[in-house]
Structure 1
Amino acid sequence: MQQQTFQQKTALIIGGSSGMGKATAQLLLSYGARVIIASKSQESVTAAVKELSAFGAVEGKTVHLANASNVEAFINELDTLGPIHYLVNAAGFFAPKPFLDSTPDDYDAFLDINRGFFFITQAVARKMKAIGGGAIVNIGSYWATRAVKATPTATYSMAKAGLQAFTQQVGMELAADHIRVNAIAPGVVETGVLDELAGSPEDAKEVYKTLHAMHPLGRNGRAEEIAATIAFLLSDDAAWITGAVWDVDGGMGAGRN
């Protein structure tokens, strides 16, 4: 991959303080990019910036995607950040719940994230258009288009399917402005996303062990593997790819064990 692609360029990573977003931030920093990470928790942003600063020039911002006024304030702040060449929409969470038990609050918790993504992406795309182009990657999900009975995720799947459809539509609309928009659809990736759901990081590790066998390749994914795919899609090596949703799922897109 053309690592020089990222040198002296700026990447904004929404959800960059943990998991796949943080791994992507670390990789892009190692390639010479300036990285701005954003998350809703000031504590997590501060900790991530401290850790990531060992790899390069990183800044931290806070934004609560489900809070419309907070998103608007963040968008206004974008004007102070200079040119943005890359955007990664990586924020999210996973909370299986049966459809018949789901509440309006459950629905809003997932779909409001997409609203935040929508308008932040719009603002960043305008900045990209002004500098002649850019690249955007959204993190979707295997569960956006496929169902797993053991993990009922109607609200989550609806949100991720919408994000992937958004990727294709916006990829088409922004192509003439030299802005590429792609997405990845991960399978099970071992991050901290299950810690609270399982009860503790130790309990989450036990849950993850039970999920290896779902994947034809025999194991769950790692955050750095997702980061490598995101970096490729952002890079000049992917210059002829837009509006695509890539399965990065250990083979589950072909079929589950």
Structure 2
Amino acid sequence: MTKSNNVYSLIIGGSSGMGLATAQQLAEQGHSIIIVGRDADKLASAKVRLELLTREFNSQVHAWQEDLYDTESVNHLIARIDTFDGHIKQLVNAAGYFNPKAFSEHSVDDYELYMGLNRSIFFVTQAVVNNMKAHHGGEIVNIGSMWAHQAIKATPSSAYSMAKAGLHAFTQHLAMELADSNIRVNAVAPAVVKTPIYNSFIDPSELDQALAGFNAFHPIGRIGKVDDIANAITFLLSDKASWVTGAIWNIDGGVMAGRN
């Protein structure tokens, strides 16, 4: 199997969690990959893993260290995209932050952690779309959230849910605007999935035990794995989903269907 080395999949937040799982699946299919993250060690480790997967395809792997919370870094990332010598055919916006907090306890600073991330995603996506238009098309998948659809009392998440609901709306508006440019835009909305996103408020050594309490929350009877989400993302990016745009898929173990 041979793919063009000049066609790339860009995964924002691709050094861990759902983003890395998606990057690995795409690498296994022979895609050239660009991952973006802010932790140098995680990026380096992820790059090594991806290079092993792409070796037989002679595909390229780039790891760009950028901080979506830093304006200068975001501008640098946008400049990289603007001058990139290749077709960024696929974009996955997988960067995220989650720290449940009561509405009355939110400060401006932690509110901005969510909204600032959305702002960065907005303008980075804009730069990628310009690249896609110049190369006659592409596919975008945003990682939204079940929390954007409904509130869960055990995890008060007003700011997070507000940001993710905005990302869902962003997905649908882009799908309408970009259809004529041969660019499809979709989103996935996971429920509880074991990823490092929970490390912001749960000790990693206690994560398995803490998340096990959410198994019964899902009608299927277990929390999600990163590959459960990556499977859906890679399908939405593929030609098999060529008639799908503007969709927000609940990849949630049945949570939005009902409760046990």
| Native 8 Å contact 1:195 1:203 kept in 2 | no
CA deviation after TM superposition for structure 1 residue 7, in Å: 3.2
- Could you state the TM-score of these two structures normalised by the residue count of structure 1? 0.95
Report 1:154-233 matches (<5 A): 154-199=158-203, 201-233=204-236
Q: Distance in 2 between matches of 1:191 and 1:48?
A: 15
CA deviation after TM superposition for structure 1 residue 90, in Å: 0.1
Paired residue for 2:3? 7
| Native 8 Å contact 1:66 1:115 kept in 2 | no
Q: Flag the 1:108–1:81 CA change in 2: closer, same or farther, 3 A.
A: farther
Letter in 2 for 1:219: R
Q: Distance in 2 between matches of 1:221 and 1:26?
A: 17
Listed one character per residue, the Cα deviations across residues 33-87 of structure 1 (whole Å, up to 9, x for unaligned) are 0010001222221121122221113210012112222111111111234210000
The structure 2 residue matched to 1:134, chosen from 138, 141, 163, is 138
Q: Distance in 2 between matches of 1:80 and 1:125?
A: 13
Equivalent residue of 2:52, what SS? coil
More divergent stretch after superposition (39-48 vs 122-131): 39-48
Q: How many equivalent residue pairs? A: 252
More divergent stretch after superposition (32-41 vs 43-52): 43-52
Letter in 1 for 2:91: L
The structure 1 residue matched to 2:31, chosen from 14, 30, 33, is 33
- Could you state the TM-score of these two structures normalised by the residue count of structure 2? 0.94
Listed one character per residue, the Cα deviations across residues 217-243 of structure 1 (whole Å, up to 9, x for unaligned) are 000111011111000000001111111
Q: Distance in 2 between matches of 1:81 and 1:137?
A: 22
Structure 1 runs of 4+ off > 6 angstroms? none
- 1:105 and 2:109 equivalent? yes
The structure 2 residue matched to 1:74, chosen from 67, 74, 77, is 77
Q: Distance in 1 between matches of 2:219 and 2:212?
A: 15
More divergent stretch after superposition (80-89 vs 160-169): 80-89
Letter in 1 for 2:172: Q
- 1:256 and 2:254 equivalent? no
Q: Distance in 1 between matches of 2:36 and 2:118?
A: 15
Q: Distance in 2 between matches of 1:109 and 1:34?
A: 30
Equivalent residue of 2:62, what SS? strand
